[in-house]
Amino acid sequence: MTFERDNYCFACGKENTNGLQMNIEAEGGHSHTRIKFPNYMQGYNGVVHGGLIATVLDELAVYAGISLGYNFATGEITVRFKRPVKIGDEYIVEGEVIEDRGKVVTVKSFLKDYEDVVYARADAKLIRIND
């Protein structure tokens, strides 16, 4: 199976009006963006749904991998939720390649505030695709 990118990705697709439409910058094994979650993305009142936090961490992990010059898909991801992420607050999300073993890349990603307090983090193993 060949995976093709288009503009309908839930996390970064500019054509997906129901998605997050994140603007992600990535280079040299690092990725970063800023995000503010709207009301309709809440779980408990005023708190972002954990699945959306996991989605954002996954996306930044993959972008960190893609910045190495290859396409990747997530093979495994573990998310740790440290504190509630609040609806309407702006956060920084970053991804960083920790180990590049060719076909498998290990990445860490973080969602944090402007004081560098981590709210959630993920450890991911990415699998290189479309070789």
- pLDDT tens across 23-52, in order? 889 999 999 999 999 999 999 999 999 999
Domain span holding position 121 = 26-129
How far apart CA 76 and CA 35 sit, in angstroms, is 23
pLDDT at 39: 93
Would 67 be classed as within a structural domain?
yes
The mean pLDDT of the chain is: 91
Domains: count for the chain? 1
**104: CATH:** 3.10.129.10
Amino acid in position 131: D
CA distances from 52 to 45, 86, 87, 90, 99 (A): 15, 12, 12, 14, 26
Q: Which residue has the tokens 């749904």?
A: 49
Contact 99, 107 (CB under 8 A): no
Global pTM value: 0.91
Q: Which residue has the higher pLDDT, 61 or 10?
A: 61
Would 10 be classed as within a structural domain?
no
Would 82 be classed as within a structural domain?
yes
Cα of 73 vs its chain's centroid, Å: 12
Segments in 36-89 forming alpha helices (H): 50-66
Would 46 be classed as within a structural domain?
yes
Task: Give the pLDDT confidence of 46-82 residue by residue, as tens digits.
Answer: 999 999 999 999 999 999 999 999 999 999 999 999 9
